[in-house]
Amino acid sequence: MRNVCIIAGGQNLWGVRQATQRDMIQEAGKACFNDNPAVTNKDIDGFIVGACHTERCSFQTHLAPQAAECLGIKPVNLCCRVELLCATGSTGIILADAMIRSGKADVVMVVGVEKLYMPQRWEIPFSELGTCDHEFDCTNGMGLPPPAFATVAQQHMKLYGTTEEQLAMVAVKNRRNGLNNKNGQMQKAITLEEAMSSRIIVRPLKLTDCCPVTDGGAAVILACEEKAKDLTDKPLVYIRGTAQATQHQMSANFNNGIWSTWDTLRIAGEQAYKHARVTPQDIDVAQTHDCFTISEIVEMEELGFCKKGEGGPFVQAGKNDFGGQVAVNTDGGLLSCGHPFGGTGLRQGIEIMHQLRGDAVKQVEGARIGLTHNLSGLISAHTVLIYGRDME
Amino acid sequence: MSITEGKYAASMDMWPLQGKKFTRIYPFFDNLKEGRLTTTKCKDCGTLSFPPRGVICPECLSENLEWVDLPTKGTALSVTYEEVGVPIGFETPLVHAMVDLGGVLTLFSRIKDCPMGALKVGDEVKLVVFPVDPQPFDGKKGEDNVIQRVFFCFEKA
């Protein structure tokens, strides 16, 4: 098996965009090629596009050839689309990694994009009614998932004493981290008082506990180690381990109603650590799926950064911040950058690439090993990737 | 839209397709119309599935399924009130509760007609069945080509 490196990555401006899906594919692709002028569209032999709502919001199936055409890419190996809602981007990286590792392709580009904002805003929550089990969850109004994560938060507070202040601290940290991220949706810091007094969405979750709805795209290029040495003069960043676990789709089948424990993430994390031959204590920097503030707290526990139930105090002590045990969501996370489903996992990988190359906007000094995590659907699938400056 | 004026588009319809003509779990909806909440159980391995399965038992892959009744009353284990951003067609607050159906099944369901704070953890809830938009289809000449549909959620008992 060959070693695989991430050699380029870029994203467009995320937010409410005056741009179509096709425009954003070009913007993200251009940003990716700008990151590394040594690699061009002619070097790409495999191409994966990630997009969830392309049929719904852009009336476009068979997206991969269209996206490749937009970027002047003529893949001679695989050209396809991948979809796993919020984890679409990182799933694309897993597949690209596997293709290269196995020798199926040498240089693979993964583009992730999401166009959600329509001329009338009501279409967004309506389209989201296709994301959980459509016939049995979404018909009860469960599309965008604040009620599910509010339930997680309620249970976590009751079982472990987690507080609303601890939730708010995640938002304050991630907004602070994203303040100078020129591609982020929010780019605005908040105080603890502002977070605590923001509008209630679903108690105990307030507006600043929830990531926004986002249009956006991102792209990365992966290459086998031999090609990577020719195609970049920057420090090599390796993909050391990838894992994904899934245990349910419908709410009725989620852990017998105990939603504050995410066994699926624990399984995915353990697999990724094993493949990468590292432990949670080895991780210097992580981008975890902070779709809601409570998510980051549960993730600290299930990824093994702290004991189960201690996520709240871990956050309160700043152990997930710069200078702490592991710097988490160093570019602002979903809470600050926004969350275009196809793009998020790629954005996380790009930030880890910058951190390990040593050229991040907000740098963790001496970072050698990084982790990304996505959850998707009704907390039903978990995707964990581990990157390293070297393979050992 | 001018070119689709007067047409029904299932692709813009949030309710499930119903009727024997369109789904193999049509008994679920037929039973709902009688006020019964039902699902499929495997006659070989005994696994109760939810949602109901139209073809096989996901556990042992047997095709030997039967329809069984679920309790129509339960207890709220948790309650959430969504105050903003609810999908079109739903009222604010949009209330969801985790409902324990007598230990048989835990469902995360909508609670109908529930003002802020009206349902609390530990309260009893009961099944409510309501009509939803009928579903027109391309039928034969003279055929009744509209399927009357229902759906379900819970309300405070």
pLDDT tens for residues A272-297?
Answer: 999 999 999 999 999 999 999 999 99
Q: Residue A392's pLDDT is what?
A: 83
Do A354 and A220 belong to one domain?
A: no
The answer to whether the beta carbons of residues A38 and A32 sit under 8 Å apart is no
Question: Which are the catalytic amino acids of A?
Answer: 86, 339
A257–B98: do the CB atoms touch at under 8 Å?
Answer: yes
Do A21 and A163 belong to one domain?
A: no
Do A185 and A70 belong to one domain?
A: no
Which three-class secondary structure state does DSSP give residue B80?
A: strand
Establish if A93 belongs to a structural domain.
yes
Establish if A190 belongs to a structural domain.
yes
Do A81 and A13 belong to one domain?
A: yes
Chain A CB contacts of B14 under 8 Å are 126, 129, 138-139
A257–B153: do the CB atoms touch at under 8 Å?
Answer: no
Do A170 and A270 belong to one domain?
A: yes
**Band (B1; pLDDT cuts 50, 70, 90):** confident
Give the residue numbers spanning the domain of A269.
Answer: 141-212+240-388
Q: Residue B143's pLDDT is what?
A: 87
Establish if A336 belongs to a structural domain.
yes
In terms of CA atoms, which chain A residue is nearest residue B98?
A: A257
ipTM of the complex: 0.96
Chain B CB contacts of A150 under 8 Å are 80, 82
A250–B96: do the CB atoms touch at under 8 Å?
Answer: no
Distance from CA of A116 to the nearest CA of B (A): 14
Do A101 and A154 belong to one domain?
A: no
**Could you read off the pLDDT of A89-118 as tens digits, one per residue?**
999 999 999 999 999 999 999 999 999 999
Q: Residue B6's pLDDT is what?
A: 87
Contacts of B124 (CB under 8 A, 6+ apart): B73, B74, B75, B76, B156, B157
Chain A CB contacts of B84 under 8 Å are 199, 201
Task: Report how many domains make up chain A.
Answer: 2
Of B50, B100, B151, the CB nearest to A139: B151
Do A68 and A192 belong to one domain?
A: no
A135–B14: do the CB atoms touch at under 8 Å?
Answer: no
Determine the Cα–Cα distance for residues A294 and A368; give it in Å rounded to an integer.
27
Residue labelled with tokens 């689709």: B4
Chain A CB contacts of B90 under 8 Å are 141
Helix (H) or strand (E) segment spanning residue A79: strand A79-82
**Could you read off the pLDDT of B18-53 as tens digits, one per residue?**
999 999 999 999 999 999 999 999 999 999 999 999
C-alpha closest to that of A50 among A108, A129, A106, A101: A108
**Could you read off the pLDDT of B107-135 as tens digits, one per residue?**
999 999 999 999 999 999 999 999 999 99
Of B16, B77, B107, the CB nearest to A135: B16
Beta bridge partners of A299: none
Q: Residue A268's pLDDT is what?
A: 98
CATH (domain of A308):
3.40.47.10
The answer to whether the beta carbons of residues A261 and A267 sit under 8 Å apart is no
Q: CB count, 10 Å around CB of A16? A: 14
Chain B CB contacts of A251 under 8 Å are 107-108
In terms of CA atoms, which chain B residue is nearest residue A158?
A: B78
Determine the Cα–Cα distance for residues A330 and A364; give it in Å rounded to an integer.
8
Output the CA–CA distances (angstroms, integers) from residue A48 to A96, A149, A342, in the order listed.
7, 30, 11
Establish if A383 belongs to a structural domain.
yes
**Could you read off the pLDDT of A210-241 as tens digits, one per residue?**
999 999 999 999 999 999 999 999 999 999 99
Examine the pLDDT at A314 and tell me if it is beyond 90.
yes
B82–A154: do the CB atoms touch at under 8 Å?
Answer: no
In terms of CA atoms, which chain B residue is nearest residue A133?
A: B51
Determine the Cα–Cα distance for residues A91 and A110; give it in Å rounded to an integer.
10
The answer to whether the beta carbons of residues A368 and A284 sit under 8 Å apart is yes
Do A347 and A272 belong to one domain?
A: yes
A139–B87: do the CB atoms touch at under 8 Å?
Answer: no
Examine the pLDDT at B4 and tell me if it is beyond 90.
no
Determine the Cα–Cα distance for residues A107 and A158; give it in Å rounded to an integer.
49
Chain A CB contacts of B85 under 8 Å are 125, 144, 146, 201
Establish if A125 belongs to a structural domain.
no
Do A84 and A160 belong to one domain?
A: no
Of B14, B82, B105, the CB nearest to A138: B14
Establish if A342 belongs to a structural domain.
yes
Last residue of a domain, one of A172, A202, A237: A237
Q: What is the mean pLDDT of chain A?
A: 97
Do A87 and A196 belong to one domain?
A: no
Distance from CA of B17 to the nearest CA of A (A): 9
Do A279 and A159 belong to one domain?
A: yes
The answer to whether the beta carbons of residues A103 and A66 sit under 8 Å apart is no
Do A152 and A282 belong to one domain?
A: yes
Residue A237 tokens, joined: 């960043």
Task: Tell me the domain boundaries of chain B.
Answer: 18-70, 72-157
Interface test with A, best of B3, B80, B111, B130 (most A CBs within 10 A): B80
B51–A250: do the CB atoms touch at under 8 Å?
Answer: yes
Q: Residue A92's pLDDT is what?
A: 98
Length of chain B: 157
**Could you read off the pLDDT of A350-385 as tens digits, one per residue?**
999 999 999 999 999 999 999 999 999 999 999 999
